[in-house]
Structure 1
C-alpha cells in the first residue's frame, strides 16, 4: 500500500529542472524524490546557520579532502607527531611536508586555476582549518600568506612553512620572505620571471 504524499509545485529555472531530471534518471529516482532530498538537506543546513555560498564551498572542501585523502586529526595530536618527527629527522619532515604542499598546489591549480582564484576560497577554508587567522592575498604577481594559530610548536610552523614554499613553487612563485614563530607563519612570494 503506497502512501500519497502532498505535493506543491515550485518554480525553478528551466536549466535546473532539466538537470534535476537528468540526475534523477541517472540515480534511478523520481524528480520528486531527488528534489525533496536536496531541499531537505539544504534547508537543514540553512537553518543551522550556513549560507548557500558556504554550503557550496564546504562541498568543494569535502571533495578536496576525499581526493587528497586528508584525514581529520586533533590539532594537538598532529602537532605532537610533527614535533617528534621533526626532532628525529628534520630534513625528512621538511621533505614530506614540502611534497604535501606541492601536491596540494598541483591539485588546486588543476581544480581552481590561479592563486587569485584560490584566494577567493580562503575565507571559507579559514572557517574549517584550525587557525585563528588564515589569509592569502594575491596581487600583481605577489602573494602573502598569513596564518596565526598554525601550530602549537615551532616545529609545526616550520613544516607548514616548507609546505607553503612548495605550494607556491608549484604555482611558479618564489618565496622572498618568511617569518616563523610558535603559532605564526607569514610567507611572502613573488611570481618568477619567465626565462
Structure 2
C-alpha cells in the first residue's frame, strides 16, 4: 500500500512539474512577445517623428526594418525551440533581399532610375501582367511624369524671371543741333564749316588787297 502511494505521489509530482514547466515556457514566450511588440511600437513612433530628406534613403530604411523584423522572428523561434517557424522567417527575409536586388538592377538600367521603380511597385499588386511588360509600362509612365515636371518647372521659371530692360533706341532720335555749322569744305577759300556761297573769306581777301 505504501509503495502504491509513493508511485502515485511520484506521478502527481511529474505531472505538476511538467505543467509548471509548460506554464513557465508559456509565460516566457508571452513576455518575449510583449517585449518585441513594445520595441516595435517604439521603433514605429521613432520612424514617424523622423523626416527623411531623400525618398531613396527612406525606402532603404524601411526595407532594412523589414529584414530586421524577419531576423528577430527567426531568433525568437529558435529560442523557443521552433525551428520550422525560424526557417520560414529566414526564408521570408531572403525573399525580401532578392526583391530589393531586383529593384536596384531595374533602377540602374532605366533612364529614369528610381522613378521607374516607384511606378513598378505602385502597380505591382494591381497587375497580373508579365513582369517584362510591367517594367516597360512603368518606365513609360516615369518618363512621362519626368517630362511633365520639367515643363511645369520651366513655366514657373518664366513667371518668376524678370524681363531684361531694353536699352533706349537712338535710331529715330534727332541729332543735336550743331550751332548752324555745315559739313563739308568751302572750295572758294579751302576752310571747312561753310559753303562757297556763304564764304566771307574771299571778301576779306579782296578788301585787304584794295
TM-score normalised by length of structure 2: 0.25
TM-score normalised by length of structure 1: 0.26
**Bigger helix share:** 2
**Bigger strand share:** 1
* Rg larger for: 2
Q: Which has the higher contact order (CA 8 A, sep 6+)?
A: 1
